Structure 1
Amino acid sequence: MKKVAVAMSGGVDSSVSALLLKEKGYDVIGVTLKMTSVACDTDIQVCCSPEDVKDAKRVATYLGIEHYILDWEEIFKKKVIEYFVREYKKGKTPNPCAVCNREVKTGLLAKYVRDILGVDYLATGHYLGIDSIYGHKVIKRGKDKNKDQSYFMALLEKESLNYLLFPLENMTKEDTRKIAEDFNIPVAKKSESFEICFTAGKTPGEYLQETGLLKNKTGDIVLKDGTKVGIHKGLSNYTIGQRRGLGIAWKEPLYVIDKNPEKNILVVGKKEELFTDYVDTEELNLFVPEDILEKLDISVQGRYRQKPVNIQKIEKKEKGYRFYFKSPQQKFASGQVLAIYSDDKLLGGGIIL
């Protein structure tokens, strides 16, 4: 009998995943990560809170499975929060969820449960699947495209794919919720979480300012030619492509087109100034050998829920890679993840320069 550890977040998806695996005859245990001691307002649906840990324990008890709580607050702080702050100090827009999946709650946890708890697999409540291309395992978008979280898995180490199970691959959220209600799972009616888990519902700029992790300094908002058009409230409050909240009265709509942290300047321009023919990344994290990319029709996503953008060619640069679009696209934010796809199969990704 295969032994599976389910990453139980205290939500509906991971709870039903544990139920389904138990029903299939797996030897199931639950594992929950405690990554913060800060209690959240129950109206703010974020994950990984102390309340979620309690909910996971309740579900594990209800299902009659062994349950472990791992205090990884310091690991999370070092690997995710410090990264988050460091990148914002550079004027970038980091993606803490993708880094967390690699460094903490999926990649690192998969290693931990195998090496320490002696299980065969780690299962999660993501609506994803495992597939293959030319004999190499890749991640596949699940049936419920509205719940697709493959983008956040682009930085996972390739080895992790050998030890992951996604029980909800062929289900929709409605299916999952119905199963939870039919089996009277304690969290059946629990709301979903949407926010960055450690900001407690605050925007990144608000979180960084209120915690003192990054002191926002006001500075000039300028056009590309240097013309001053306003004052910004701190670069961490803005991202590439942003239009609202600039506080600028101008003859035409202006968008954020660049950030200069060295000079503490926010650069804005007309919408057409946002468009580019390519995007650059750091070194790639791939689930398949690099030469296979040449054999496939490639598309990329530069942010979560973005419509995939078709790629004309990929060029190896001195530092990283350049992806040329088939048609001009709005600039992607530096620091975000570029997820690489072939149809609905995730091939890996890299950090946008």
Structure 2
Amino acid sequence: MAKVLMAMSGGVDSSVAAQMLQAEGHEVIGAFLRLGDGGHAAEKSKACCTVEDAIDARRVADRLDIPFYSFNYAERFRRIIDYFVDEYRDGRTPNPCARCNQWIKFDVFHDLAKELGAEYVATGHYARIQEEADGPRLARGVDGDKDQSYFLATIPYSVLKECIFPVGNLRKQEVREKAGIGHLPVVDKAESQEICFVPANDYRRVIRQQAPESLVEGDIVDESGDKLGTHEGYAAYTVGQRRGLGVAATEPKYVVKTDRKTNQVVLGTRDSLMEDRFFVSEMNWLLPEIPRLPFDCSVQIRHGGQPQSCTIRQHTVDGVEEDWLEVILEKPLFAIASGQVAALYSGDTVLGGGWIEKA
């Protein structure tokens, strides 16, 4: 059996994961990362990484009688908040959970595992590791409604090889049942549903505090440049948004673009947001070897979205290969948002992931 560092969030999923590993005979060490601002955390009831979560994680560790450590990485987490604000300021749609996994959580936990002499890092993500002859693969969790493999598509392969996802083969109800059987104190705890540093899911509040210049009144225009109304700040809008536009129209209008230079929000029809190709930067392959291009697979462009058939090829400009990949879709997709993760799949297996870009 192995020595495993268990990333404990204070929720039911990571708590049951710790319980399962212990039952299998592993030596389990619990660890909690404090990432957010305690003041903000106190305002939220459905966020993660709060003081209450730390307390719950310790209670579970006590129940299981395993060592437990709490670490404060709030200062390092500032990078995620800055990224979040910068993306909105640049007219993009950030994915802070995926960036946090990529830049902070898995990196930190693996460093801590080495310091504590642990061979593996385990989390409560609904994803699976499939062992193959040439190395492990990341796969979707059995529970399709809870699958979190999309958020893991950008973590390095070297990190993935040292990961365990104990609840990936379970459905949520089965996890709750295991928590009840084990008399874990978080058995009935509600799931975190908010970004940990965004009180009450009000991301505009964070932008207003961090980048007030991006929330200055400006024009809402159509794709021809004709004024349709006034907005409260271009960064308060996201591509594909339909509600809360404050514009009367004879047909549904959607946000097609937000423009930092002109302080404009551009609206168009749904057809304007149907696209059949986009680009991917910072491609991260979760495979022992990078596949030869071009090749066919499926792509998922948002959490909970349906994978779509596509062809992946190298992006070229005037015959010269660029760092980006080009994704050519079999059928057009609605509201492909720059800044979101594009996760590539072959069936349930994650091939890798990168960040959506537009030309």
Give yes or no for TM over 0.5: yes
1:335 counterpart = 2:339: yes
> Structure 1: how far apart are the matches of 2:40 and 2:240?
33
Q: Deviation at 1:334?
A: 1.0
> Structure 2: how far apart are the matches of 1:132 and 1:311?
26
3-state DSSP class of the match of 1:259? strand
Residue 323 of structure 1 aligns with which residue? Answer: 327
CA contact (8 A) 2:44 2:199 kept: no
Percent of aligned pairs with the same residue?
Answer: 40
Residue 346 of structure 1 aligns with which residue? Answer: 350
Mark the CA change 1:219 to 1:132 in structure 2 (over 3 Å): closer, same or farther: farther
Q: Which runs of 5+ in 1 are unaligned?
A: none
Residue 8 of structure 1 aligns with which residue? Answer: 8
Mark the CA change 1:292 to 1:265 in structure 2 (over 3 Å): closer, same or farther: same
5 Å-filtered alignment, 1:254-333, equals: 254-288=253-287, 289-292=289-292, 294=294, 297-317=296-316, 318-333=322-337
Residue 319 of structure 2 aligns with which residue? Answer: none
Residue 76 of structure 2 aligns with which residue? Answer: 75
Mark the CA change 1:133 to 1:219 in structure 2 (over 3 Å): closer, same or farther: farther
CA contact (8 A) 1:335 1:351 kept: yes
CA contact (8 A) 2:294 2:314 kept: no
Residue 140 of structure 1 aligns with which residue? Answer: 139
Please give the per-residue CA displacement for 1:253-308, whole angstroms capped at 9, x wherever unaligned.
Answer: 1111112111111111111111111011213111123325645x411111111111
3-state DSSP class of the match of 1:304? coil
5 Å-filtered alignment, 1:169-184, equals: 169-184=168-183
CA contact (8 A) 1:283 1:321 kept: no
> Structure 2: how far apart are the matches of 1:85 and 1:240?
16
Moved more, 38-47 or 320-329: 38-47
1:178 aligned partner, one-letter code: E
Q: Deviation at 1:107?
A: 3.2
> Structure 1: how far apart are the matches of 2:84 and 2:108?
18
Q: Deviation at 1:315?
A: 3.4
CA contact (8 A) 2:294 2:311 kept: no
Q: Deviation at 1:99?
A: 0.5
1:55 counterpart = 2:56: yes
CA contact (8 A) 2:301 2:343 kept: yes
3-state DSSP class of the match of 2:229? strand
3-state DSSP class of the match of 2:60? helix
2:5 aligned partner, one-letter code: A
> Structure 2: how far apart are the matches of 1:180 and 1:14?
10
Residue 117 of structure 2 aligns with which residue? Answer: 118
> Structure 2: how far apart are the matches of 1:272 and 1:5?
48
CA contact (8 A) 1:277 1:325 kept: yes
Residue 247 of structure 2 aligns with which residue? Answer: 248
2:346 aligned partner, one-letter code: S
Q: Deviation at 1:179?
A: 0.9
Moved more, 87-96 or 22-31: 87-96
1:15 aligned partner, one-letter code: S
Q: Deviation at 1:310?
A: 0.9
Mark the CA change 1:314 to 1:83 in structure 2 (over 3 Å): closer, same or farther: same
3-state DSSP class of the match of 1:262? coil
Q: How many residues align?
A: 349
Please give the per-residue CA displacement for 1:72-125, whole angstroms capped at 9, x wherever unaligned.
Answer: 1111112x11111222221111100001001112233123312x1110001001
> Structure 1: how far apart are the matches of 2:133 and 2:180?
40
> Structure 2: how far apart are the matches of 1:20 and 1:132?
19
1:194 counterpart = 2:193: yes
Q: Over aligned residue pairs, what C-alpha RMSD do you find?
A: 1.7
CA contact (8 A) 2:91 2:257 kept: no
Q: Which runs of 5+ in 2 are unaligned?
A: 317-321
CA contact (8 A) 1:110 1:164 kept: no
Q: Deviation at 1:66?
A: 0.3
3-state DSSP class of the match of 1:291? coil
3-state DSSP class of the match of 1:258? strand
CA contact (8 A) 1:39 1:51 kept: no
1:29 aligned partner, one-letter code: I
> Structure 2: how far apart are the matches of 1:100 and 1:313?
26
Mark the CA change 1:217 to 1:129 in structure 2 (over 3 Å): closer, same or farther: same
Point out 4+ residue stretches in structure 1 off by more than 4 angstroms.
292-295
> Structure 2: how far apart are the matches of 1:99 and 1:2?
29
Q: Deviation at 1:194?
A: 0.9
